[in-house]
Amino acid sequence: MSKHLILVDRPADWPADLPALPVMSAKDYIDADDAAGLATSRDLRVVNLCRNYRYGSIGYYCSLLAEARGQRVLPSVGTALDLSRKTIYEPLTEDLDEDLQKYLRGHDGQAMRLWIFLGRASQPEFQDLADDLFERLPCPLLEVDLHQNSRWQIHRVRPMAFSDLTAEQRELFTAAMEHYLAGTWQSPRRRSAGRYDLAILHDPDEAMPPSNPKALKSFIRAGKRLGLDVELITRKDYGRLAEYDALFIRETTSINHHTFRFAKRAEAQGLVVIDDPTSILRCTNKVYLAELLRTHQVKTPATQILRRERNLELEAPLAYPVVLKIPDGAFSVGVSKVADADELKAVAEQMFQKSDLILAQEFLYTEYDWRIGVLNRQPFFACQYFMSKDHWQIYDHKASGGTAAGNSRTLPLERVPAAVLRTAVKAARLIGTGLYGVDLKQTHRGVCVIEINDNPNLDAGVEDEILKEQLYEEIMAEFLRRLEQRTRLRYGGA
């Protein structure tokens, strides 16, 4: 049997002037049984060209059955649902706004329409834009309307009906089909002998990534030793998530960011995900963390939530100096120390431009912060992060644009004070069963939790100083454990 198959509503929808490719009606595909080989052919690549993909339609069920049969299908059910409403697909494309200005610089007019056929742009000068859109919304036939008021924006994206294509569009589609079959179908991503496929999302251009390149290579090696096929991916691989069994996010996470969308989509598609979207949601907002820890009586520095509308007066036991924080800052960004009421007012006014709520927190200076790594509710590494030279934070973001960081020291768990380990595990368990880095200060008044990170640093030469390759194997082993548990549940095993 051919390795690819074109689905249409009716055989007559595929005109004689188009290439003689394997074409089947949607009805015949749905009715296919094992005798036809379709229900068991996991190597089949399906291009679904049905008239629409709305929920419950014939086109929808073709994609659904293809996925159930283990076949690669375009569009996936997830993409079909994404395209059903603008409110669903808009979050997937909103981060393209800045790129749009670059792609359409110098283009005249207030509106433009672009067709994207199997990833190929109808106007070659906009191929980069087509690549970005097709990676987010991989659908065979897309019509994209772009509008310009003060700046270019995506007004609408919708799937097109193959049977409605004009002669000119069919010619463009034929060229796109030949290009697509020659590339993707004949040379798909090779699968190794690994039992499962795991994707690591990273950004090779990130200035302060949670794992350096040497650590990423160690994750790949550790996965291979355990029978996992580990591949590095970037944000451009959003449309390929369904190819994998698990997703490990090694890029700094944020809610209004593609990392959160990756986590949401991976979870929706049944992948094992670390960081899972719930952990990202809980950890990346310091207001949520402050309230969560207070509710469960986990000791923290004295904290007060400040609102834009109320008087900015500190309540007992807070006293100057205090630390002001925006809720979603990371790596000491969005954190300032203020010495008096005037400075508090000035800094808070700047922070309120980004958030309606900010935090005022007791200033507790220590020589270093503890970082306890917790995986599935168990501690597995411990570090001491020292303050940057002549600064009160671990990271010192210079006015000139550079960043200085303090030294670090990694210790075996048996050398960590019991109160530090106990508090870290208690705090992490309030978030979930994922991978967390709990930051704590050890003071004369006891151990305080500063924050819980859903995406803790795991760098070669730092966090792995004690465990070496075992650190990477422990994380890959947790993925394997979850994958095998998922498989047992899916197939009714014990």
pLDDT band at 187 (very low <50, low <70, confident <90, very high): very low
Phi, psi of 17 (to 5 degrees): -80, -5
**CATH architecture, domain 302-363:** 2-Layer Sandwich (3.30)
Contacts of 329 (CB under 8 A, 6+ apart): 286, 335
pTM of the model: 0.63
User: pLDDT per residue over 320-367, tens digit each?
Assistant: 999 998 877 654 457 888 989 899 989 888 888 878 788 899 988 888
Residue ranges per domain, the chain? 4-185, 196-282, 302-363
Strand partners, 335: 325
pLDDT tens track for 420-450: 999 999 999 999 999 999 999 999 889 999 9
Give the DSSP H/E element, type plus range, for residue 441. strand 435-443
Distance CA 364, CA 123 (A): 59
pLDDT of residue 84: 82
Residue 185 pLDDT grade (very low, low, confident, very high; cuts 50, 70, 90): very low
Separation CA 113–CA 123 (nearest Å): 10
Nearest of 336, 324, 341, 461 to residue 391 by alpha carbon: 336
The CA-atom distances, in angstroms, between 301 and each of 280, 317, 384, 441, 443 are 22, 10, 19, 9, 10
pLDDT of res. 189: 43
CATH number attached to the domain at 196-282 = 3.40.50.20
